Amino acid sequence: MKKHNFSAGPSILPEVAYQNAAKAILDFNGTGLSILSISHRTKDFEDVLASAQSLMRELLNIPENYHIYFVGGGASTQFFQLPANFLGRKAGYVNTGVWTKKAIKEAKLYGEVEVVASSEDRNFCYIPKGFDIPQDLDYLYICTNNTIYGTEYKTDIDSPVPLIADMSSDILSRPVDVSKYAVIYGGAQKNLAPAGVSFVIIRDDMLSKVVRPLPTMVNVNTHVENNSMFNTPPVFPIFVMNETLKWIKSIGGVEAMYKRNVEKAQVLYDEIERNTLFRPTVDKADRSLMNICFVMAEGKEELAADFLKFATERGMVGIKGHRLVGGFRASCYNALPKESVEALVACMQEFEQLHK
């Protein structure tokens, strides 16, 4: 049976990336060696790294005064690494759920944290708007797509202080005005690659703003100066990321990606609204294109386990919602084909018929 992979992460990647990764594991670039077993200092791998950087720069329109590096440790390492570098006195955080809470906890090890806005009052079902940003912050921190709650910023906010954004789960899914951010980072395993690599896009002026002496691996300058090669970078995840980036370019870049993502999300949100058995959990204006959350309609809660079984039997994978929200979450990352969304919608309609 065909599987429709709605997994929240690690998650679906383009078919061509799987194929080329499989080939490269057996014979990378005709070298007669596996990508898993070559030195990261070889010319062949240096070309992969350079390609991934330049494709990311091209696809996201990253201005020249930004550096891009790839590093291990996941997005969770950046939760402490960025404040270690940049939090001298006080930073502002917008609290939009689990991932910002975790980032806030780490930041507090280095200085004062002011939560400038939060959507915790309604279980993070919206993105706070119109909040004041104090001028005296070392930086403002946001998470642009909240993977667990299914909320997403729809505009790049203006900040009078350096803006740091966790874009783990919506990077390259929509156009972004990079020039509004001082740092954009994320784990690659949601939309770009298998687990094991994070990307960091950092504005040049930040490199001289490091506030304290740091271990070499923690200092952002290390990774910029050594072009992601201070230590052994995650060679295989970077290889797959490059394949994903090539695929995004081949189908028209981020604008085309965004258009596809809007179409997919529309189909599913429309069905969630229409279907009498389900309801959305997120305020309309803030609904994520990537992680689409829904629960059983009021009075139908007891059907949740049945629906999960019903959908699973029809090939849907990874649609159980996070325990903090309950219900269902269909992650519709870049590589998820529209047919998978249509299959889920058909499933919801069939289930509704059974329970008329």
Ligand X SMILES: *Cc1c(COP(=O)(O)O)cnc(C)c1O
Contacts with ligand X by CB under 6 A lie at 9, 74-76, 99, 143, 147, 166, 168-169, 187, 190
Nearer to ligand X, 108 or 314 (CB): 108
Would you call 190 a catalytic residue per the annotation?
Answer: yes
Q: Is 247 annotated in the active site?
A: no
DSSP state letters, 156-177: PPP-SS-EEEE-TTTTTSS---
The least distance separating ligand X from the CB of residue 122, rounded to whole angstroms, comes to: 19
Q: What are the E-state strand segments in the chain?
A: 4-5, 66-71, 90-95, 112-118, 140-143, 145-146, 151-152, 163-166, 183-187, 198-203, 278-280, 291-296, 316-317, 328-331
**Cis peptide, bond prior to residue 134, ω within 30 of zero:** no
Give the residue with the Cβ less far from ligand X, 203 or 322.
Answer: 322
Closer residue to ligand X (CB): 188 or 296: 188
Residue 147 Cβ, how far from ligand X at the closest point, in Å?
3
Identified catalytic residue from 170, 190, 247, 286 = 190
CA distances from 147 to 204, 240, 275 (A): 29, 22, 24
Q: Give the separation between CA 198 and CA 237, rounded to whole angstroms.
A: 9
**Which residue, 134, 97, 139, is CA-closest to 116?**
134
Closer Cβ to ligand X, 98 or 115, answer by number: 98
**Shortest distance in whole angstroms from residue 265 CB to ligand X:** 17
Q: In the annotation, is 99 catalytic?
A: yes
Nearest approach, Cβ of residue 330 and ligand X (Å): 15
Q: Which is nearer to ligand X, 233 or 278 (CB)?
A: 233
Q: Which residue has the tokens 């687990």?
A: 195
Backbone angles phi and psi of 161, in degrees to 5? -120, 160
User: Which residue among 166, 264, 286, 320 is the active-site one?
Assistant: 166
Rounded CA separation 331/11 (Å): 8
Task: Give the C-alpha separation, 27 to 35, whole Å.
Answer: 7
3-state secondary structure (DSSP) of residue 308: helix
The least distance separating ligand X from the CB of residue 171, rounded to whole angstroms, comes to 10
Catalytic residue ranges: 99, 166, 190
